[in-house]
Structure 1
Amino acid sequence: MTAFLSSPVRAQRSAPELQITFERNTEADRATAEQIHEVLRKKVREIARANGFILEGKGDGSPRVRSRVEAIPVPDYWGEVKPGPYRVGFTQRWIIDSTRRLPRPDKYRLRYRPVLLNVWYPAATASARQPFVYDDYFEGAVRAARGNGALVPYAQAIVGYQRSIAWHELAGTPRDSTPSDLTARIEQLFRSLTHAVRDAPRRSGVLPVVVYTQGARGSMDDNVVLCEFLSSRGYLVIGSAFPEEDNATFHTNSTDESRQRDIRRLLLEVQRTFGMTVQSVAVIGHSAGAQAMHLLASDPSAPVDAVLSLDTTQDYSMLSDRTWQFPQRTLTGREYVTMPFLYVAGPGALFELADSLHHSARTLLTVPGLGHNEFISQGVIRGHLSAGLARDNAARRDTVQRHYRMLVDYMASWIDATREVRAVLPPSPAPLRVTQVPVGENAPTLGAGTITTARELRHLFTTGDASTFAERSLAARKADGEAFPHSAFMMLLADAVRTGKGDRARTLYSELIARDAGMRNILTAIESRARLFERIGAQPEATEWRNIAATLGGSR
């Protein structure tokens, strides 16, 4: 018995017809042949429906595709990202968490914390309904509150805040100061179709779950491409607005445990709403959201199976820098951080915190050419909206879109791999660079050749003599300036001063500037940082950086 496709389906789904033909061997057992036939028909039907095709019977048992539902176009804001095999559904609802009483009555007269549930999921079948428009990510949250009249003013207020944040991130300015040409494009984006159909039937079976949380003062749509994309790959993706715990403001917060508590409540609600058992949970955070996910991972009761950390901002510094509060709190519970971790950052990341979480198998992925907000789709869309305008940089825009596409593809493959027994983690496509750090390892192994990562620079700084460090680090910087920026050297020198190694810091700095006068910019950057802290009234930090500058200043 054989089976073949007489008209293959091309990737663009433009084939006019998919026809399945079976040739039965008359000598084979007919009953067995019929069983095989039925299994194949069911599998073909599943694949066809997932890809937007409809199988029609002919009455003779031959499964043929005689018609198909038009594929949902990929939105322009996806850039170079390509969807997976499943249609995407989306739903929103509000939850009142009665275990979290608000500390004081607010103007919305709410006694308990309201939590917005946003869910993207693979849809069960192709739907004739059209995707909703982008702005309905916001307006839909207001509609979802109408079943509880007391919630409507609150929903309107938080949605207004979310829209204003989204606008500011897309334009770089508040709405009332955005140039008219860019205003028109953002308004068009908000009217454009997404890649999701509201309240479409959900695909049956157990679905792996991903929770996404945005950065400080970020909007809930800030990585919407990733959320839609992962759902098209078969994942149920959860998001929310994540305001501060006391609802005093709508800002997100990485230090007050509100996100972690929201996530636990959202996972419970998904189980109730969808009637499914949550068996595999990966959490993704960007910036302050990534910081909060470190804290969640270090909680022994956390329902987390994998963590993806997108550019915490701390990755480029050392643990002695107390600008961030989450590293020490995470390290307090490091014995509980045993799940796989994917760290994503720019090439200049030092990754000292990642190396300290040695009970975990860690993947360190560096992506060149991306700014902090370009690790999320909002920053990529911002560049897309500027195409052809005065502020446009076409070459950089193309690079950002390409590297973001590589990033989300890698993230999906990494999550897939962590769910498999004896997983083989994916390699990284150039120019992305991946380093696998096994359980128990807390530092790179240096060979005699040229160092290639800032993580290796960090290790060389602490182990090599001054002359060797200067020679090898400057050779590496000459080969790849983006991987070895002045800021990496600055953070290493500052760490040495903070930890009582001021003489070594001064000696190393002297060796650097003796070989490359351009490295004097490190001291200039340190002095600029001290002045910045002074301007914002952060006197302890200003004093610290002035002391670091003074320690190194004797070598000028």
Structure 2
Amino acid sequence: MILRAVLILILLQTNHVFGQTSLKQIDLTNGKHKVGFIHYTTADSTRTYNRIYDYTNTQIARPIPISIWYPADQVKDESEQITVLNYLEILKEEEEWEHLPNEQILNWFYYANTLANQKHLKEKTTAYLKAGFAEGKFPVVVYTPSFQASSIENFALCEYLASHGYVVISSPSRGTENRWFGNNNPKEMETQARDVEFLVKEISKFPLANTDKISVMGFSFGGLANILAQTRNKRIKVIVSLDGTERYQYTLLTKSPFFDAAKIDVPYIHMAQKDIPEIVLREDNIDSVLNTRFDLYDSISKSKAYRLKFHDLTHSYFSTLGVLFQQRDTRQDKSDAEIMESYKWVSTYALNFLNAYLKNDDRALAFLENNPSDNGVREGLISHTYREPKPEPLSFKDFNDLASKQHYENLYELYQSLKQTSSSLELPEGNLNTLGLQLVFNPETSEQGINVFLLAAKLYPNSANLFDSLAEGYLYLGNKEKAIESFEKSLELNAQNQNAIERLRQLKH
């Protein structure tokens, strides 16, 4: 019996016509690097899993198939160039149909067994097996697939990024207990987030991966997992969302105990599908608010956020497999040429976003902020907006982090400078007193503690307690004269300060 599984979380039911596309016609311009590819399976021993088609109660460690695209040295053996069929053989493995004959791939999983699709299987990609790693370290992209999809669903984009100097790692979107998602989407979302975190750790094993520069990129359901992963993993510096479901199912995000929009503090870009036509909204019972509402974007305040809408793309075509194989919806899909043109621009914007924020490329940043037509985009193809982070009021911790970087010198000047940009900044007397004592009693930072007390005394000149603490600091350093002076000042402000009375009695005899 033919298995029909869900490849992606599609918003629309479709009426189908077959299209003509090819990797060559997508026309992505690769960078200077050859592209290497490796695939293997490891396991997460902290979680259990059941291979559903083995029909056994046996539990195993959660298998994690790993696909990695990377910048490579010159390729020695052209015979190792990967075909689309090679990628779909990985799909067989990830679907747990390892022994399925290749001639059964089309129509067995998701795609019609047409002459056009058969032709796609023979296409050569730009990746090579067994290619040596390029020298140097490269930023990392953790790619998170769509609903129950394969690690290789966006292989053309992954190859494209690797050719431009990125290491891309991906694993399939699998359910918590077995290959398929259950009915508890919050649980499945958390499982995907844990898989993202596993990949972050896994890529650190590779010497060419720069783990100080990690980004996440997710399509559809994968976008939800990436938001959760970033809010609790500060190693993730950038979020790229390919029509991520965080736009459409914000309430699902809020069901996670780990989610807090205020914690998203890295650059974020969301590239969305076209407006859903009225006929599709009506026939498929879709709420029209999906065309306009975006609660997550509106909630991001600590980082720069970009929002793009691609007017010639429906949801399926943010992936390579979607562009090549997905049957078209005659109610709304554009022509194949228009779909491929838009997919190319999705890839181009993704690359420039990564270059801007992981490689500090000023030209890439300008590209993002230009009107799309200034970047050569056909008029009307892309709508685009972005916004700067909202200024956040500075806290005592913010002040202390900056003060520490300058070794607690020139503290009053620092305070005045910060007050000009954040008038609400407060340095509570108690916090300064505690910080000063912590620093003073550490032999390596004693002088820095004195500087904190001097700032505190300037801000709170009527605090007997601060002058008492300052005196204790001087006494700890052996500066008897300054200690006496400060204890006397404390007594002047509070004649009942018994510590100062006793200390002065000891110091003057």
TM-score under structure 1 length normalisation: 0.54
CA shift, 1:333, in A, is 2.0
What residue is the counterpart of 1:359 in the other structure?
A: 302
Q: For 1:315 and 1:164, how far apart are their aligned partners in 2? A: 38
Pairing partner for 1:207 from 130, 133, 138? 138
Identity %: 22
Counterparts in 2 of 1:254 and 1:382: CA distance versus 1, 3 Å: farther
Contact 1:93 1:141 in 2 (8 A): no
Q: Deviations over 1:366-418 (max 9, x none)?
A: 111111111222222137x88xxx98999722111111111211110111001
What residue is the counterpart of 1:408 in the other structure?
A: 347
Q: For 1:103 and 1:157, how far apart are their aligned partners in 2? A: 11
Contact 2:301 2:390 in 1 (8 A): yes
Counterparts in 2 of 1:104 and 1:138: CA distance versus 1, 3 Å: closer
What residue is the counterpart of 1:79 in the other structure?
A: 26
Matched, 1:185 2:185: no
The DSSP-based 3-state class of the residue aligned with 2:66 is strand
Matched, 1:217 2:148: yes
Pairing partner for 1:294 from 227, 249, 268? 227
Contact 2:247 2:295 in 1 (8 A): yes
Pairing partner for 2:67 from 118, 121, 134? 118
Contact 1:287 1:311 in 2 (8 A): yes
Q: For 2:35 and 2:192, how far apart are their aligned partners in 1? A: 25
Matches within 5 A, 1:15-30: none
Q: Deviations over 1:318-357 (max 9, x none)?
A: x6xxxx4114548942232101100111354432321112
What residue is the counterpart of 2:157 in the other structure?
A: 226
The DSSP-based 3-state class of the residue aligned with 2:168 is strand
The DSSP-based 3-state class of the residue aligned with 2:204 is helix
Matched, 1:135 2:85: yes
Contact 1:334 1:359 in 2 (8 A): no
Pairing partner for 1:261 from 194, 198, 201? 194
Contact 2:147 2:220 in 1 (8 A): yes
Q: Which amino acid aligns with 1:294?
A: I
The DSSP-based 3-state class of the residue aligned with 1:208 is strand
Q: Deviations over 1:411-440 (max 9, x none)?
A: 101110012458534223343222121112
Contact 1:295 1:330 in 2 (8 A): no
Q: Which amino acid aligns with 2:242?
A: L
CA shift, 1:314, in A, is 5.3
What residue is the counterpart of 1:63 in the other structure?
A: none
What residue is the counterpart of 1:93 in the other structure?
A: 40
What residue is the counterpart of 1:315 in the other structure?
A: 247
Matches within 5 A, 1:271-420: 271-274=204-207, 276-299=209-232, 301-313=233-245, 315=247, 324-327=251-254, 329=256, 332-346=259-273, 348-382=291-325, 396-420=335-359
Q: Which amino acid aligns with 1:351?
A: F
Contact 1:165 1:217 in 2 (8 A): no
Counterparts in 2 of 1:217 and 1:167: CA distance versus 1, 3 Å: farther
Q: For 2:65 and 2:292, how far apart are their aligned partners in 1? A: 34
Q: For 2:43 and 2:161, how far apart are their aligned partners in 1? A: 27
The DSSP-based 3-state class of the residue aligned with 1:185 is helix
The DSSP-based 3-state class of the residue aligned with 2:338 is helix
Q: For 1:240 and 1:277, how far apart are their aligned partners in 2? A: 19
Task: Tell which deviates more after alignment, 94-103 or 221-230.
Answer: 94-103
TM-score under structure 2 length normalisation: 0.58
CA shift, 1:157, in A, is 1.6
The DSSP-based 3-state class of the residue aligned with 1:280 is strand
The DSSP-based 3-state class of the residue aligned with 1:230 is helix
CA shift, 1:231, in A, is 0.9
The DSSP-based 3-state class of the residue aligned with 1:216 is coil
Q: For 2:172 and 2:347, how far apart are their aligned partners in 1? A: 22
Number of aligned residues: 340
Counterparts in 2 of 1:201 and 1:110: CA distance versus 1, 3 Å: farther
Counterparts in 2 of 1:343 and 1:230: CA distance versus 1, 3 Å: same
Q: Deviations over 1:43-66 (max 9, x none)?
A: xxxxxxxxxxxxxxxxxxxxxxxx
Contact 1:254 1:289 in 2 (8 A): no
Q: For 1:221 and 1:345, how far apart are their aligned partners in 2? A: 21
Matches within 5 A, 1:531-546: none
Contact 2:42 2:64 in 1 (8 A): yes
Structure 2 gap segments, 5+ residues each: 1-20, 275-290, 393-509
Counterparts in 2 of 1:276 and 1:310: CA distance versus 1, 3 Å: closer
CA shift, 1:237, in A, is 0.6
Structure 1 gap segments, 5+ residues each: 1-73, 143-153, 443-556
Q: Deviations over 1:482-533 (max 9, x none)?
A: xxxxxxxxxxxxxxxxxxxxxxxxxxxxxxxxxxxxxxxxxxxxxxxxxxxx
Counterparts in 2 of 1:440 and 1:232: CA distance versus 1, 3 Å: same
Contact 1:211 1:239 in 2 (8 A): yes
Q: Which amino acid aligns with 1:196?
A: A
